[in-house]
Chain A
Amino acid sequence: MGKRDTLRFYLNGHLHQVSPASVTQTVLEYLREHLRLTGTKEGCAEGDCGACTVTEASLAGNGQVAYSAVNACIRFLPTLDGKAIWTVEALSGANGLLHPVQQAMIDHHGSQCGFCTPGFVMSMYTMYQKGLRAPTREQVLEHLSGNLCRCTGYRPIIDAAQNMGSYPIAGADHDLVRRQLETLSAQCRDTLELETPGQHYIAPTTTFELAGLLQDNPHAILLAGGTDAGLWVTKQLKKLDSIIYLGNVAELTHIQRVAGQLKIGAAVLLNDGYEAIAAEYPEATELWKRFASMPIRNAGTLVGNVANGSPIGDSAPFLIAIGAHVVLRKGGHSRILALEDLYLDYRKQDRAPGEFIEALLVPLRIPGMQVATYKLSKRFDQDISAVCSAYALKLENGKVASLRIAHGGMAATARRALHTEQALLGRHWQEAPVRLGMVAMPQDYQPMTDMRASSAYRLKAAQNLLYRFYLESTGGVRTRV
């Protein structure tokens, strides 16, 4: 297979062929500093404020165009290869007529200082392109969860978003976009390889190629959504010298049902992966909606979150509780490991150099299994958990036949509460034994104090969340605000 040294993407309808100055140049830098397209703003350079939001399109598995809002500030330019993006400059027509989302923002007084506004407009435009022209309040909150506004208090923005469909419809030529993306896709079939001073970037197209590259260069950064790696560059000013990008490996973007499990490939986006999990476990839906923000979930991958192995990465506790496994691959060799066994200590994993997580194996629901996962943070949307807990319980004759409890934010890794589980195993699922379980929990965890919460709060809240799970599993008591 041949190789390419130029990336190709559409920006505001125009084809760009680029050899970037640095392979870690961000999309935002390219827009603002190279093209002087200054409508897209930098508010935080870490994907938390949304002032840099742009709309991305790619071809979905069904051949249709899939639109999503993403953060330009932490997105490396080469990862746009084969995609199309739009910035705020593209929205108003040549005649100066504003797009309905723009007019709605004006008519509902949705801008004050205006700095966050292009980001909001692009998140709303993405909804519009997805066909959400008259969204419910819940849909608006979900899609705008990654955009911060310090001026308005959001009410007029919610009104604008809910009313953007009341204007004459702005047609979009989805077919043209699809044809452009199909043409690009044909042109981008080969491996993209970029060299910039002191840096190397390669985007293999098969798992076999990927495995070989990583085996030859075990210290390369494995890049997927870049929602964490982007910050290494924008905040820590690290120079990433060797990057292997996963996003072009088509096999890794699949979700399959095999042998009583969901097999979620390493390049499956958080939103897609969570959707599949929530279809099986609706109890995970709230966690999904509160996992980072919409633009982060549109860019980051589920396996990336698992592989990152943060002590508070919110997917791990639930996946551990329901008994998920990972498929590890090194060269031509694969092995399967229980997720909980992957995490050895703070940022230490049972993963050899050159070995990578090829897929996540999520067991299908076992009849009679009760599950729950809870997230505690200072803010409801887009916050990092102080504590994240998950439970998988099976009762027989009113007694605990099996119970798996896992927490994030309580230790140096996401970890099971083995003493707590043991204290409850075989006992009646009733108030008094549950309290015994709560009392056992300090044997499992000695959490730390940091800016998110104190050790004492984390422990007490984790104990109380077990009580919440007990109350919810037995029903009848309202437990959530």
Chain B
Amino acid sequence: MHDRSHQTVGRSIAHESAPLHVSGTALYTDDIPETHGTLHAAFGLSERAHARISLMNLDAVRKAPGVVAVITLADVPGQKYLGPFLNDEPVFADGVTEYLGQPLFAVAAISRDLARRAVKLASVDYDDLDRTLTVQEAAAREHYVLPPVRIRRGDIHAVLAQAPQRHQGEVRCGGQEQFYLEGQIAYAVPGENHEMHVHCSTQHPSEMQFMVAHVLQQPAHTVNVECRRMGGGFGGKESQSWPCATVAALLARRTGKPVKLRLDRDDDFLMTGKRHDFRSLYDVAYTDDGQILGIVFEHQLRCGYSADLSGPVADRQIFHTDNTYYLDTFDILSLRLKTNTQSNTAFRGFGGPQGILAIEYVIDDIAIRLGKDPLDVRKLNFYGRAERNVTPYAMTVEDNVIHELVDQLEASSDYRLRRAGIEQFNRGSRIVKKGLALVPVKFGISFTATHLNQAGALLHIYTDGSVLINHGGTEMGQGLNTKVAQVVAEELGLDIARVRVSAADTSKVSNTSATAASSGTDLNGKAAQDAAQKVKNALVAYAADHYGVAPSEVNFRSDRVFCGDKAMLDFAEFVQQAYNARVPLWSSGFYRTPKIHYDFKTLTGRPFYYFVYCAACSEVMIDTLTGESRLLRADILYDAGRSLNPAVDRGQIEGGFIQGAGWLTTEELWWDDAGRLMTHAPSTYKIPSISDCPPILNVQFFDNGNAEDNLHRSKAVGEPPLPAAISVLLAIRDAIRATAGPGVIPTLNAPATPERILEALASVSGSSAADARSAEESATQAGASVHETGEVVAGPVSSYE
């Protein structure tokens, strides 16, 4: 432990709900005992990507067995359009469907099964409109959900024109479904006098509260939203929990009955947004050593049909386009493209991984062009400490530890030795090739919208010495409640068993920010700490007065209160005394992140309180005949500051890393030409499974306190591990490069499925010297020549099932 005075902070305490998780007694929204008369709802979804609805006949739906109510947009009494950023999303399609899967209407029935069956009976006629499905189409047509954003510094044209070296390239990367194991769900229970209590699996109870109030046209004080826990969120329940929350409430208002709305997994895939897929075009000027002199980026981000959170996601892509590298002269253009597909939304990293991936490809390209080890090119471009330390958004990097961190990982992962070993292996292996990559990450911590960086908490001490906390954050598995309980227990000198954190509840802590941006612990932990300190200060004043000691002599430790040499009381006994003396035993707490400011028009300022640094070194093996790949080993070094809970933090690091590896390898979203998402269930959309965990997975913490006065000098841990998995993709690229001639850059787009890898191998085949051509390359080419003449023949079925 880093600080002996700490009793619970810094300890690897198990997740506060772990005993409930393993015994099946943790209640998720669908497990809450149902109130008598509860109805179940289902959505009717659009079957067309972009069409005018010429007729929607719901008679058969209304007459279906068990149906109690059917609602469409006309039945929304209040605001009909919602959205976290712009109100550009109708609750139900407004005459025109904007994507295949958009809700058209909803049904409440006496059972979920009957509700699901009823919605299939709708008769809907469509007049198709021209649809835009891909990044390429949307970019060509200049279809935007929000206007383009551009940031520039210096004379990029001059730098490019005079560059000793110049390279142009492109990278494409797919999106990612959050795949929270618990799907979207809300349970709305109407009360007296228009009250509406909504249990919702959401990262953003306050936003759900306001949206429910808006659609019902009621004041916010009549709506209460509660979330004890989610079965995963990953950003997918930040804004897009609203269709379930609002429609459950609308149907509950309509019927006067409690209404539960739980999406089937397929509907969840079809309705809700994912990580933004993107294409980045670049033009880079660099020195003969590989130092970047200037760079042009055009980021084309697919936002889907509405703005949702795409503005801030795209902003964060820009904010992370530098990653750990100093960009002197640049011109970065960000296009927020509108397509007739699901509205893409938050997903762990929130645009950051997309920015980091783009610059890492550039670095990788430069290294290949120059025949250098990519790690050396990376180091050459790192931010300096005293100079070369201003980001493209004009923030000075003050807490830079990337040099030391990468040096340490380079040593602990045996990078250079393994690099040599892999080269030797590849020389002796015809079919399978290995690859290695070490990728650093710098991740900015804070909401970029400054006003969101605030949090509240409510703390009660009961006279038996037990402590209850509510705070503005939500628990989705990340261990937020565990850490908050640790912080409060630490403050009051209590065993953590005496401290309980209960559900997020808008009637207890109001106007909360989403639990997002890795900031949950930083913000809510500080707010809870503030509440605990306020109660403690009152208790200290009482004790000093009552026992005649100096306030500094009153200590809370080991479930006891020490009042100098005058008294030592059990905590419960002490608070009972304080209660009798009419000392308040509860308090609110509040926190606002200091120092940050940011002008969203110019994208400059200090959007981040501090940076998290980490790096990962990944080793893979690929099969050049089939394109199959396997992650053999990963070493991760992470700067968690003074970790509040190393076990919880390690869980976030490993989980985020594997999730990122899934994004870049097996998880492929595939729409057909009509705009139907065909990978809409775990049968077709493949998140990592247990064999995808590498046999060697080393995680270490970098010894580094937070330079800022963050909670116990800790650092955030939610999102930064995810982009560290870019090392897996670049290791695959490295293995492909091993089959190519010097200076030949593989065209590898993500996700690197076997098919993408085989394509990338084809993109470099024939590039090696003729005399070095090995048998398997000839074989691959034999296949390639056939493939070029082979037409894509549509079979008699839509897919092989």
Pick the contact of A106: B14, B180, B628 (CB < 8 A): B14
Whether B628 contacts A376 by the Cβ 8 Å rule is yes
CA A117 – CA B231 in complex, angstroms?
Answer: 10
Q: Which of B128-178 contact A (CB under 8 A)?
A: 178
In the complex, what residues of B have CB within 8 A of residue A479's CB? 431-432, 623, 625
A87 to B25, CA, bound (A): 12
What are 29 A-B interface contacts by the 8 Å CB criterion? Answer: A37-B24, A39-B24, A39-B25, A41-B182, A44-B682, A98-B23, A106-B22, A109-B12, A111-B477, A112-B478, A113-B232, A115-B182, A121-B22, A151-B655, A154-B658, A156-B651, A346-B795, A379-B688, A381-B690, A411-B795, A442-B789, A451-B672, A455-B790, A457-B627, A459-B783, A461-B754, A463-B782, A478-B429, A481-B432
A-B contact count (CB 8 A): 338
Stretch binding the partner chain, chosen from A88-96, A171-179, A257-265 = A88-96
Residue B635 lies at the interface, judged by CB distance under 8 Å to chain A: no
Tell whether, in the assembled complex, residue B800 and residue A153 are in contact, meaning their CB atoms are under 8 Å apart.
Answer: no
Also in contact, A464 and B799, with CB within 8 A (given A41-B181, A151-B655, A481-B621): no
Which residues of the partner chain B approach A44 to less than 8 Å between Cβ atoms? 265, 681-683
Contact B794 A448 (CB under 8 A): yes
Are B626 and A376 closer than 8 Å at their CB atoms? yes
Question: B797 — which chain A residues lie within 8 A by C-beta?
Answer: 311, 346-347, 412, 448
Is A280 an interface residue when CB atoms closer than 8 A count as contact?
no
Can you list the 6 inter-chain pairs with the closest CB atoms, starting with the nearest?
Answer: A39-B24, A113-B477, A115-B231, A114-B21, A153-B658, A88-B24
Bound together, the chains give a CA A118 to CA B266 distance in angstroms of 22
With contacts A381-B690, A449-B792, A459-B787 taken as known, whether A98 is within 8 angstroms of B19 at the C-beta atoms is yes
What residues on B are CB-neighbors of A384 within 8 Å?
683-684, 800
Interface centre among A107, A115, A121, by most chain B C-beta atoms within 10 angstroms, is A115
- Any A CB within 8 A of the CB of B555: no
Which of these binds chain A: B212-220, B363-371, B599-607, B691-699? B691-699
Q: Which residues of B contact A464 (CB under 8 A)?
A: 625-626, 779-780, 783
Tell me if B431 and A115 are in contact (CB < 8 A): no
State how many angstroms separate the Cβ of A215 from the closest Cβ of chain B: 29
Cβ-defined contact, A386 with B690, below 8 A: no
Q: How far is the CA of A309 from the CA of B670 in the complex (A)?
A: 25
Q: Are A451 and B684 in contact (CB under 8 A)?
A: yes
B629-A451 in contact (CB<8A): no
- CB within 8 A of B181: which of A51, A110, A383, A441? A51
Number of interface residues of B (CB under 8 A): 112
Extra 11 A-B pairs, beta carbons < 8 Å, given A105-B18, A460-B787: A105-B22, A113-B182, A152-B658, A384-B800, A438-B786, A446-B790, A457-B627, A457-B754, A459-B783, A461-B625, A463-B786
A439 to B678, CA, bound (A): 32
* A46 to B753 CA separation, bound complex (whole angstroms): 24
Q: Kindly identify, within residues 427 to 481 of chain A, every residue whose CB is under 8 Å from any CB belonging to chain B.
A: 431, 435, 438-439, 441-442, 446-457, 459-461, 463-465, 467-468, 471, 477-481
Residue in chain A with minimal CB distance to B660: A153
CB-CB under 8 A for A438 and B14, given A384-B683, A481-B622: no
Pair A113/B476 contact, Cβ less than 8 Å: yes
From B28-36, B273-281, B589-597, B701-709, give the one contacting chain A: B28-36
Q: Which residue of A lies closest to B620 (CB)?
A: A481
The size of the chain A interface, using a CB distance under 8 A, is 109
Among A48, A105, A409, A481, max chain B CB count under 10 A is at: A481
Q: Does B648 contact A (CB under 8 A)?
A: yes
Specify which chain B residues have a CB less than 8 angstroms from the CB of A40 in the assembled complex.
24
Residue-wise interface mask of B (105-146) relative to A, using a CB-CB cutoff of 8 A (1 in contact, 0 not): 000000001001100100000000000000000000000000
Q: Report A-chain residues with C-beta under 8 Å of the C-beta of B794.
A: 448-449
Q: Provided the pairs A113-B229, A153-B654 are in contact, do residues A477 and B430 lie with their beta carbons within 8 angstroms?
A: yes
Q: Give the docked Cα–Cα distance between A431 and B647 (Å).
A: 53
When the two chains form their complex, are residues B265 and A155 in contact, meaning their CB atoms are under 8 A apart?
A: no
Q: Is A268 an interface residue (CB 8 A)?
A: no
Contacts of A48 in B (CB 8 A): 681-683
Closest to A87 in B: B24
Contacts of B623 in A (CB 8 A): 479-481
B264 at the interface (CB under 8 A from A): yes
Contact A45 B264 (CB under 8 A): yes
The answer to whether A112 and B655 touch across the interface, beta carbons within 8 angstroms, is: yes
Q: Does B679 reach chain A (CB closer than 8 Å)?
A: yes
B350 within 8 A of A: no
* Neighbour of B180 across the interface among A110, A113, A478, CB < 8 A: A113
On chain B, the residues within 8 Å of A36 by CB distance are: 33
A130 interface residue (CB < 8 Å to B): no
Measured CB to CB, the closest approach of chain B to A126, in angstroms, equals 15
A155 to B697, Cβ gap below 8 A? Answer: yes
Indicate if the CB atoms of A459 and B651 lie closer than 8 Å.
no
**Whose C-beta in chain B lies nearest to the C-beta of A239?**
B117
Chain B residues, Cβ within 8 Å of A377: 686, 754
- Give bound CA distance, A38 to B24, whole Å: 7
- A109 with B651, Cβ < 8 A, contacts A115-B28, A141-B690, A457-B758 known: yes
Cross-chain contact A460 with B786 (CB below 8 angstroms): yes
Are A114 and B782 interface neighbours, CB within 8 A?
Answer: no
- The 8 Å CB contact of A145, one of B116, B178, B691, B801, is B691
Instruction: Report the nearest A residue to B751, measured CB to CB.
Output: A378
A121 to B695, CA, bound (A): 22
**Does any Cβ of B come within 8 Å of A147's Cβ?**
yes
B776 within 8 A of A: yes
Q: If A41-B231, A237-B117 touch, does A451 touch B668 (CB 8 Å cutoff)?
A: yes
The answer to the question of A277 belonging to the interface, with a C-beta cut-off of 8 Å to chain B, is no
Task: Please pick, from A46, A118, A438, A459, the residue contacting B681 in the complex, using a CB distance under 8 A.
Answer: A46
B689 and chain A: residue at smallest CB distance? A381
Cβ 8 A contact of B799, one of A43, A380, A450: A450
Contacting residues, chain A, for B692 (C-beta < 8 A):
154, 379-381
B775→A115 contact, CB < 8 A? no
B610 contact set on A, CB distance < 8 A = none
Is B92's beta carbon under 8 Å from chain A?
no
* Binary A-proximity of B201-240 (CB < 8 A = 1, otherwise 0): 0000000000000000000000000000111111000000
What residues of chain A lie closer than 8 Å to B431, measured between beta carbons? 468, 471, 477-479
- Residue contact A459 to B754, C-beta cutoff 8 Å: no
Given A98-B23, A457-B755, A465-B625, are A311 and B779 also a contact pair (CB < 8 Å)?
no
Decide yes or no whether B796 CB sits under 8 A from chain A: yes
Minimal beta-carbon separation of A281 from chain B (angstroms): 21
CB contacts under 8 Å to A, within B617-670, are 621-623, 625-630, 647-648, 650-651, 654-659, 666, 668, 670
- Known interface pairs A48-B683, A111-B18, A451-B799; A155-B693 also in contact (CB < 8 Å): yes
Which residue of B is nearest A463, CB measured? Answer: B783
What is the CA–CA distance of A102 and B22 in the complex, to the nearest angstrom? 5
Q: Is the CB of B800 within 8 A of A310?
A: yes
Q: How distant is the Cα of A57 from the Cα of B794 in the complex, in angstroms?
A: 45
* Pair A346/B266 contact, Cβ less than 8 Å: no
Q: How far is A103 from B23 in the complex, measured between Cα atoms in Å? A: 10
The answer to the question of B417 belonging to the interface, with a C-beta cut-off of 8 Å to chain A, is: no
Q: Which residues of B contact A37 (CB under 8 A)?
A: 24
Beta-carbon contact of B14 and A468 below 8 Å = no
Give A379 to B14 CA distance when docked, in angstroms: 31
Nearest CB in chain B: distance from A113 CB, A? 3
Once bound together, how far apart are the Cα atoms of A463 and B793, in whole Å? 17
Given A43-B265, A113-B476, the answer on whether A49 and B24 have CB atoms closer than 8 Å is no
**Contact A452:B654 (CB < 8 A) given known A115-B232, A378-B668, A438-B786:** no
Q: Which residues of A contact B776 (CB under 8 A)?
A: 467
Could you say which residues of chain A place their CB within 8 Å of the CB of B12?
A: 109
Q: Point out the residues of chain B lying under 8 angstroms from A149, CB to CB.
A: 181, 690
Expressed in whole angstroms, the Cα–Cα distance for A431 and B779 within the complex equals: 9
Q: Measured between C-beta atoms, what is the minimum distance from A290 to chain B in Å?
A: 9
Q: Report whether B655 and A152 are in contact in the complex, using a CB–CB cutoff of 8 Å.
A: yes
A235 adjacent to chain B (CB < 8 Å): yes
